[in-house]
Structures are given as C-alpha cells and as structure tokens.
Structure 1
Amino acid sequence: MSGKHWPPGTQCVTKHDHSKPKPRELAFRKGDMVTIIEAVEGKGWYRARHNETGQEGLLAASALRERGAIRADPKLSLMPWFHGKISGTEAVQELQPPEDGLFLVRESVRHPGDYVLCVSFGKEVIHYRVVHEENTLSIDSQQYFSNLIDMIEEQGAICTKLVKPKPKSGMKSAEEELAKAGWLLNLKHLTLGDRIGQGEFGDVLQGEYLGQRVAVKNIKCDVTAQAFLAETAAMTKVRHKNLVCLLGVILHNGLYIVMEFMSKGNLVNFLRTRGRALVPTQQLLLFALDVAQGMDYLESKKLVHRDLAARNILISEENVAKVSDFGLARVNPKGADATLLPVKWTAPEALKHNKFSSKSDVWSYGILLWETFSFGRAPYPKLALKEVTELLEQGYRMDAPEGCPPTVYALMKSCWELEPGKRPSFKKLTEKLQKELKHLRDI
C-alpha cells in the first residue's frame, strides 16, 4: 500500500470489479463510487459505504483511487452536440454515415434566435425547428423546455430516440469527464425540498442525497450552466474544513450543483438576527479565524476568490464558518463587467485595472472583518458607491466598529493598504488571530 490515508467522508472510485466478496467485504464494479467510513487496523483496508446500494463493507485501498480534480478546460461542454451556426447541408454532412438516433443541434440560419434539431433516421436527416419564445423552447408547441439540455434529455415528440450525440469537433462531453472523475451524481438519489435562497444565477434548494442533507444550486440557463463548469472545476480541486464542500453535480434541468448543507445560513444574517447579546467577541474571532484559514488554503492553491464578503460565508450547525461561492466572478473574466463588481468590497486595483489576486482578496477580508465586528452592518454606511472610490484614494478608511478590539481594527487597516504588497498574507492574518484568541482566553 502506498501510505494512503483517506479521512472519513472521502469519495473514492473503484478501479476494478469485485463480484465475489468474502464475508464482511463490499461487492463493487469498476467505476463505482464509495464513501470512506474509516481506515481499518492493519494493512491497507478501509470500511466504506457504496454510494449506489448503500451497503457497507471492507475493501482494499489498492482497489481505490481518490476522486480526481477536473481541469477547467474550454473544450469541456455540457452541450458537446451543439454546433452553433452551421447550415442544413453542413449538418447533413456531420451526421454521416447515417445511423438511427445520431443527432446534433444547430442555430437556425433562416430564423435567427431559433434552433434546429437534426436527427439521422432511416437514410435521411430530419430537421426539427426549435422555436424560442418567452424563455422557452418547443418543437411542436405542445411540450415546452427551459433549455436545450432539458430538451435533449426529455426528447419530446420526434421520429426516433436521440441515442448518439454528434460532438462538435474538438469538444469534450462534460458529462463523460465528470462521470470518469467521479463527480457525476445520480438524480434518483436526490430529493429536493424547499427553496432556501435565490442567487442571481438560479435558486438554491434544500435537499437530501443518500440520506445526507444538502444544498442544491440549480442553474437553468445553458450559457450560465456552461460558465459554472469553471466554478465546479475549481471546487473539485479543494478540500478544507473551512470551505463549503462540493459533493458533485447532476446534469438535469440545466445543472444541479450539490453541496454540503449549512444549517445556520450566511454570516450577515447570522449576526444581524442574534446581535451583541448572543454572540461574544470570542465567537466573532473564531469566525474570522475560520475564514482566514479557508482563504489561506485557497491562496496556497493559487485560487483567487474575487467576491469575499460576509454574505458568502456560511455557518454550520456546529458554528464553523466556511467560505462559499468561490470562482463565481470568473463567469465573465474577459474585461469583467465593472457594474457587477461589489464595489464596497473590491480592492482599488481590482476596480480600476481589473487586477485580482490573493492580495485583493485580503482587502475584501478587511471589509468582512468590519462586517463581522459591526454585527452585519453594510460597510461605508451613508456613503454612495461613487464617493467610496474617490475617498479611498484620498486615504479615507472606515472607523472601528463599536466595541471592536484595537488589535482587530489594526488588522483591518493592514488589509486596506493601498499598495497590495504591503497587505498581510492570509497565513499572517491566521497567526495574528490565533494570538488574539489565545490572549482573550488567558484574560
């Protein structure tokens, strides 16, 4: 055994079939997903739960590989069968040699805004016009779909089953890559519950996956879902107690991103609804430390958050703070639309020159500290956005929130150095907060 130590909860993929298990062993087939429960005394065995059957048993570490990270790759597509603007004649050429159920989708040349589903059947290629109106798609005006992914999944009233997508050359199926790496979850194990939030990209629902409470982000728009693949790829690379954990994705109704459920909601609401009377300074420092540790880990992985703010920090049942929504701002990386930037949280160099780095995250962290110690107040109270940018350049900084320890205010101010190089690293911030907590406990 190659000294692997997988902590409980690690998701692993099986490397081969094991169809005749001995007593207490787990049966599995190549490519199955299992969840590690614990390492077993002795050499190289684990107790694990089979994600599909729910059975528990023993299996050798040598039969497993940990679920791999997915590279964010522009060739990775949720819709590899979408060919964009090609003519009917070109579509017919793409679908050669004929094969029942071979299909692709193209943009309609004759009816801009509509699509065409081209299906090979018999020796012919049949072209179905897909009419796009009021955010829905329909082939026959009987059945309506919210997006192309849905339409292909549900199939609708057409001549034959869509069995074989014809990928656009150079494109790779995100579905296959996700499945191969072990991140594709099974829709039949997901139960959806109430809506617990609404992001600008879609709803967040509460649910259950194989008996575990989860939060599910549903992104219906094709283009946004495609952009979210990058966020998902970023989340497959990271695992830390202070980052919200991605369980996997389901391709249905667009895209479902399945994450651990954080029962106490986001940090702003947590502080606003409880206030000074219920949340002591020590707890505020613990939250601040949690966030700094999660960000230190992201910094070590060379990942920039770009939207660090108390609204993006979630609190677990055990009062652990975890960073969520990393990678979102990358949905529009090329000359990101400045109007969408959270101005009051964004570092001056990021606002002016689109320069995002771990140091611009540190600036945002300073604002988050201010939000935390003011119990969820909005930063720069009474100032308009335009004034904020001008005043910062003139050297203005917010005052300490009421009752904030001077050492913590000094930390905030160090995060707001105009020169990025003068700001502390998240590692340094972590050390200073640990010292402050120790000091508080020794009093």
Structure 2
Amino acid sequence: MSTSQGSSHLVPIEKSTYYHGFLPREDVKMVLKTNGEFLIRISEPRKGEPRSHILSVFHNQPPNIDEETWIKHFVIKCNENKVFIEKNAFPSIQELVDHHLKTKDSVKDDVFLIKALPRQSWELDHENIEIIKKLGEGAFGEVSMGKLKFRKGGKTVNVAIKQAKLSNLTKDQIKEFMGEARIMRQFGHPHVVRFYGVAATTEPLYMVMELATNGALDSYLKKNPDLSIEKKNEMILQAAWGLEYLHSKPVVHRDIAARNCLYGDGRVKISDFGLTRHGIAYQADPHKKAPIRWLAVEVIRQRLFSLKSDVWAYAIMSWEIYNNGIEPYPGMMVAEVAQKVLTGYRMELPAELNQEIKNLIARAWAENENERPSMAEIAMELQRITGTVRPDFVAMEAQIKKELIMANNLTHKSHARKNKGAKAKMPKGINSIPNSNDTLFYVPRVRISFKDLERCLVVIYTSVERFLRLEFLSKFGEVIVHRLESSYDLDDITAEKVIDTSPIVLASCVLDAVLIDQHALVGTLEIEFSNSDKRIQTKILKEMSKTFQLDDGQMKNVLQTRKIMYNCLADVDIVSSFHEHIIDMKVLKEIAIEGIFFRLESVSIRKVFDSTEFLPKNKIQSKLHETGNVRISNRRYEVMSEKFAPKWNFNVSLARKLGISSMGHTECTGHQVCASKLFSLYQQSFTD
C-alpha cells in the first residue's frame, strides 16, 4: 500500500499500540518471540517505489529450526479505499487486524494472529521529543540538542538527537541508522553514552542519546590544554572501563578515537557506534575508507578488525589524551602513516608519563595482536597503577536500565535474587551435610562409591551457594540475567528461575572438572571414580528440573548457562574471590583452564571454542593439537571433519560455523542448526 493510497488509514494506525513505524526486519525478528505475536510496520523501499504497510507475524511450526523463516511478512495492499492481504477487504488496517483476532481466521495458510506486540520501551514518541538547537552535522543528518519527556511522571532530560530524513537517505543508510540504534540499546554503562531510544513511527527518524555537557573529548582536550597528568590518567582509565564493557558483550567498536568519545560531568563516554559489529572479529570491505591513523597493523594489511585492534586504537586515543587532542602522527600524510606503522614505527609518549603506563601502551601497540593485553587487563593494570577502586558497574548498569524502563511506563521486574536466609536451598532429594561450614573436604586418593560422590556434590554445592551469597550475584547476577534474556529469549520469570539454579549449574561444572581430571576444587580432594559420571549428571538434571519446575525448553536454557559459568570460572576477579572464601586459586585455575575446556566428547567441542579467548595461544595450540580434532590457522579456529563432523552429521561448512559462532560471531547462519544437534547429543549423554 503506497503512502498516497493509504493516507486515509495512516493517521489512525499510527496511534495503535501495535504500529511500529519504520522498524526494519532485523529488529522485527528480535522482538517477536511467540507464535501468533504480530505488529504492523511500514516498509522503506528502493527509491521510486511506493511505501507499503507490512503485517509481520511470528510463526514457527516444529520441527522447523531455521530461525530465518519464523517471521512471516505480509504486504497490506490497497484497492478502491479497501485494504486486504489476500481475500477479505476492509475499510482500515485496524478492522483487518480485528477481524483476524476475533474470528481466528488465518492470514494465510496456517498463520494466525493471536497477540499484538506493543511498542517497546526504546520506541519513543515524536511528541515527547523537543528539538532546541542544532549542534552540528552527523553521518545521517543534523545532530541537535533537545529535551525528552518520559512517558511516566512527566520528567524531562536534556538529550542529543540524531535526525535522519528518509528523503535524503538510501535504504542501506536507513538500515545503518537503525542498526546503530539496535546495537546501542543493549548497553548500559556510565562510560558508554546512554541510549534513550529511537522515534521511528514517522519522519524524520530520531535517535535519542544522553547529552554530554562538554561535547567531544578531542575538542575538550584542545580547549583545556592544562589538564593535570592525573586527570588524563583518570580519562584513559574511564575509557578503558567503557571499552572493557563493550568487549564483554562482545562487540568490536572499530572506530575508537578521542573524536568518538564524549566528556561530561567528569566522565569519558564512548560513543559513535556506526561501525560497531557484534562478535569478536569482523572482516571489513578493503575498498571502503578507514581511519588509517587509528588502525592496527593487521587492519591496515587485511582490514580484519577484532577486539585486539580496538586495543590498538585505544592506545592511540590514550596518546591523543596525553597530547591534548592533537591528531596522531602529526606532520605525516596518511600514506606515510600506514607505511611507517607497518615497518615498526610507534609514537613517543610524554616524558613525564608514568613508566608503567608507557609500558602498558607499548604492549597495546604490539605488532602481533596476540601479544596485546585485553581491555580487562588494561583496566586492571590502570586501577593498580593509579590506586583507583573499581566501581560496581553491574549495579550501575542495572540501575540505568531500571530507570529507563520505569520512566517509559513499563512494568519492571527486579532480577535481583532475594535473600532467602542463611540456610542454603538444597535440591530436593539431596540432604544437607552435617556441618555446612565444612567447605574443605579432604580424603585420600581412593575409589569412592556413588553415595560418596553424591556427598562430594553436596559439599561443592554448599561451598558454591555460600560463595554466591557472599560475592557472585552482587557482581555478576545482573550480567547473567541480561545475557540469558538477550541470548536465549527468556522472559523475566524464567530468567530468575535459571539464576536460582546457578549454584547447581556451578556445582555440576565443578563436578565435570572432578570427573574429567580427577581433581576437585575443594581443598586437595583427589578421587578416582568408577563409571559414576552419567548417573550423577542424570541426577543433577532431574533434581534441577523437579526443584525449579522447568520444562524441556527451560532446561535447555539452564544447560546453556554452563557456558557463562565456565567463562566466569576463568575470570580473574572471580578466581580471586573464590580463593578468599573457598578454595586454592592455583587448583581452580588448573581445573577451569586445563580440565573443563578440553573434554572432547559429544558435547565438549563447544567448550573448546568457548575457551579459546581465555587461553594463551601457545597453550591452545599444544592442547588442541594433542586431540587431533582441531587445528589453528591464521587466528581462525578451523574445525576438521575427519573426527566429529561425520559422527554428528555436520557438513564441513556447518561444523566450521559452529566454531566461529561459539566465539561470538552471532551473525553466522547455520549455527542454530549446530546448537540444536549439540543439545540433542547433550541430552543423550546424560540419559544413555
């Protein structure tokens, strides 16, 4: 339905809660989640073609596991002032929708409308946004200062508004604009610019963000050349915290520079996510322009961006900060910069700068990306050097998101786990041990019975439960809930149930380590077992399902949290906390790194790929080459088909995608198929 033909219906449909304006397909598949859920949107066709209203419906009939086909899009046509999809015609879109809702008449074939999806908290209303004055020009149009009025309570905040006039943009540019908004809405950190939402029900499109009082960081530095070295140290630490957070998602920013950071209220905030991509690496088009002065060696050569190329750019930005915002490689042309960087040239840092910070930046400029520190390591080192206490960013992120949800008049369900008393909640069927304070369990190296093994699990569970109360949930609970919701499409209640299972999940992770390497995380326990692993794992699954009333789909999500738990076990901060409260840190590191990740059975190849970003390259090579199943080539982890691809009925392409997607390349098609096969095998391994 063209705009001109359907103009009589466009005004009222805009007021419908299920009208989402220019929401693109990429967003539609992220918000529609249950069969029969639907929305109305308007397409943005190629130039010269009329716009059409689209009915998008979630429709999945088992055994279809191809997520790309789960959303059906129907063009709403118009003829003689009537709208229709295939057969019945109606005076308006609302009447068409009402008909299919009330009569249960299918839209087409077996596609039915069951539930309308209202606009999300980040889908803003134009009438609540006020433009005050122009600040400058952006990639898509004007950037202005303005005010945003929240739906609830009438509170207003000062904001920056990016405007996109569709008449001036191509379809690809519109997709890029909405793509930047899509990436930004997953962030919530004090050192990443806050995203309030996007107004897309009509033109022009608005992207609304927080307003930084001092503007771009490079401009602020140029206007304030007398900043102390301590203030600049603070700035690079704040930027490190922000980039560390982005990498934890994971995303590759690809354009870290002082010009793309904002400064306000004493805080550096990373912004400008137009080039940002999900995952840990991205192969860019070598023919497109790139900011050479901020590019790492491998990006100049191959246009291969990664988390470590962001680290390089961060070091360049640090140089900018210490040099009052001047352009890097002063006096050089772009071609000369590229040539000199490739031959080993690195810029000098101010003489008065702390030598340890100089050394850290020099490491970030290592030619070999594997020799560069991660942003987490850089942040940790800067905290130590400057004597800065790390804020509770997880709590801050939770508060930011809670405020936005509440302000936009949506019900907020707290994810924080309530204190249920000092007594640990044990799974049904497992009795508490006599002395719950006995966190260290010493026995000689002997064969033990299933009953003793069960007792071992109880000890581990109790230790982990106490640890969770003391440390874990306060730091990482919100992060895990967020990942569960965003990665596995859980609703609030289910996510909280999954979090409640986390002590059991962790205990089973720990037990895996015991069963694999015959080492225990509790004290110096060393045991040999006699065919007990499947029985105990089956018991764990049954107890988890029975205790928390989880169906098969929810159990799948519980199992998938093991990946998050493994990652947490490899986290330095958690290792330290475990050491303080429960176990020997050296033993934990050995188990978490050596034991859990390299159990190459039916379900373990995913663990291998999950582990790669945590381990030094030489350790990965030696360990993986021992198995004969995996090889490393050009920093990409290739899966060899001879061992396991035939066994799992994978073709080489799908098997390779499994490895890539497990490292964060969420855009790879086919990884859902692999995950489904893996889960089937995972279940079999527990029940055989």
Within a 5 Å distance, the mapping from 1:169-208 to structure 2 comes to 180-208=119-147
Which residue in 1 is equivalent to 2:383? 434
- Which whole-Å CA distance do the structure 1 matches of 2:40 and 2:290 have between them? 27
Give deviations 1:245-299, integer Å, cap 9, x for gaps: 10011023242100011111111111100102xx111111111111100111111
Indicate conservation of the 8 Å contact 1:338/1:351, yes or no: no
Find the residue that maps to 2:341 and give its secondary structure: helix
Q: Quick one: which of 256, 275, 279 aligns to 1:308? A: 256
Indicate conservation of the 8 Å contact 1:304/1:327, yes or no: no
Which residue in 2 is equivalent to 1:418? 367
Does residue 249 in structure 1 map to residue 186 in structure 2?
no
Indicate conservation of the 8 Å contact 1:271/1:372, yes or no: yes
Give deviations 1:354-394, integer Å, cap 9, x for gaps: 21111010000010000000011110011111111111121
Q: CA deviation at 1:193?
A: 1.1
Does residue 121 in structure 1 map to residue 80 in structure 2?
yes
Give deviations 1:380-423, integer Å, cap 9, x for gaps: 01111111111112111111135433322222211111111100
Find the residue that maps to 2:224 and give its secondary structure: helix
Does residue 377 in structure 1 map to residue 377 in structure 2?
no
In the superposition, relative to structure 1, how do residues 84 and 335 fare at CA in structure 2: closer, same or farther (>3 Å)?
same
Which residue in 2 is equivalent to 1:325? 272
Find the residue that maps to 2:225 and give its secondary structure: helix
Within a 5 Å distance, the mapping from 1:120-269 to structure 2 comes to 120-122=79-81, 180-210=119-149, 211-220=156-165, 221-223=169-171, 224-251=173-200, 252-269=202-219
Find the residue that maps to 2:349 and give its secondary structure: coil
Does residue 287 in structure 1 map to residue 249 in structure 2?
no
- Which whole-Å CA distance do the structure 2 matches of 1:203 and 1:401 have between them? 37
Which residue in 1 is equivalent to 2:222? 272
TM-score by length of 2: 0.40
Indicate conservation of the 8 Å contact 1:299/1:358, yes or no: yes
- Which whole-Å CA distance do the structure 2 matches of 1:79 and 1:383 have between them? 50
- Which whole-Å CA distance do the structure 2 matches of 1:297 and 1:434 have between them? 15
Find the residue that maps to 1:185 and give its secondary structure: coil
Give deviations 1:204-234, integer Å, cap 9, x for gaps: 1000011210000112225212222221111
- Which whole-Å CA distance do the structure 1 matches of 2:177 and 2:277 have between them? 9
Find the residue that maps to 1:182 and give its secondary structure: coil
Indicate conservation of the 8 Å contact 1:222/1:254, yes or no: no
In the superposition, relative to structure 1, how do residues 398 and 230 fare at CA in structure 2: closer, same or farther (>3 Å)?
same
Find the residue that maps to 1:356 and give its secondary structure: strand
- Which whole-Å CA distance do the structure 2 matches of 1:165 and 1:378 have between them? 58
Ranked by relative contact order (alpha carbons within 8 Å, sequence separation 6 or more), the top structure is 1
Q: CA deviation at 1:72?
A: 4.8
Q: Quick one: which of 350, 359, 366 aligns to 1:401? A: 350
- Larger mean CA deviation between 206-215 and 218-227 belongs to 218-227
In the superposition, relative to structure 1, how do residues 369 and 334 fare at CA in structure 2: closer, same or farther (>3 Å)?
closer
TM-score by length of 1: 0.60
In the superposition, relative to structure 1, how do residues 104 and 283 fare at CA in structure 2: closer, same or farther (>3 Å)?
same
In the superposition, relative to structure 1, how do residues 328 and 78 fare at CA in structure 2: closer, same or farther (>3 Å)?
farther
Give deviations 1:307-337, integer Å, cap 9, x for gaps: 0000111011x21111011243559x87435
Find the residue that maps to 1:233 and give its secondary structure: helix
Does residue 81 in structure 1 map to residue 43 in structure 2?
yes
Indicate conservation of the 8 Å contact 1:374/1:402, yes or no: no
Q: Which amino acid aligns with 1:290?
A: Q
Indicate conservation of the 8 Å contact 1:228/1:328, yes or no: no
Larger Rg: 2
- RMSD of aligned alpha carbons: 3.7
Does residue 336 in structure 1 map to residue 285 in structure 2?
yes
Q: Which amino acid aligns with 1:298?
A: L
Give deviations 1:155-174, integer Å, cap 9, x for gaps: xxxxx99989999xxxxxxx
Find the residue that maps to 2:262 and give its secondary structure: strand
Give deviations 1:138-177, integer Å, cap 9, x for gaps: xxxxxxxxxxxxxxxxxxxxxx99989999xxxxxxxx97
Larger helix proportion of the pair: 2
Indicate conservation of the 8 Å contact 1:72/1:229, yes or no: no
Q: Which amino acid aligns with 1:275?
A: P
Find the residue that maps to 1:340 and give its secondary structure: coil
Q: Which amino acid aligns with 1:187?
A: H
Q: CA deviation at 1:202?
A: 1.7
Q: Which amino acid aligns with 1:269?
A: S
- Which whole-Å CA distance do the structure 2 matches of 1:438 and 1:123 have between them? 70
Indicate conservation of the 8 Å contact 1:400/1:409, yes or no: yes
Give deviations 1:61-102, integer Å, cap 9, x for gaps: xxxxxxxxx9955968997535659999xx9xx9xxxxxxxx
In the superposition, relative to structure 1, how do residues 356 and 376 fare at CA in structure 2: closer, same or farther (>3 Å)?
same
Find the residue that maps to 2:130 and give its secondary structure: strand
Within a 5 Å distance, the mapping from 1:19-38 to structure 2 comes to none
Does residue 347 in structure 1 map to residue 296 in structure 2?
yes
In the superposition, relative to structure 1, how do residues 225 and 81 fare at CA in structure 2: closer, same or farther (>3 Å)?
closer
In the superposition, relative to structure 1, how do residues 314 and 86 fare at CA in structure 2: closer, same or farther (>3 Å)?
closer
- Which whole-Å CA distance do the structure 1 matches of 2:260 and 2:82 have between them? 54
Within a 5 Å distance, the mapping from 1:14-93 to structure 2 comes to 72=26, 80-82=42-44
In the superposition, relative to structure 1, how do residues 337 and 208 fare at CA in structure 2: closer, same or farther (>3 Å)?
farther
In the superposition, relative to structure 1, how do residues 338 and 423 fare at CA in structure 2: closer, same or farther (>3 Å)?
farther
Which residue in 2 is equivalent to 1:170? none
- Which whole-Å CA distance do the structure 2 matches of 1:328 and 1:258 have between them? 18
- Larger mean CA deviation between 209-218 and 350-359 belongs to 350-359
- Which whole-Å CA distance do the structure 1 matches of 2:40 and 2:330 have between them? 43
In the superposition, relative to structure 1, how do residues 377 and 428 fare at CA in structure 2: closer, same or farther (>3 Å)?
same
Indicate conservation of the 8 Å contact 1:267/1:311, yes or no: yes
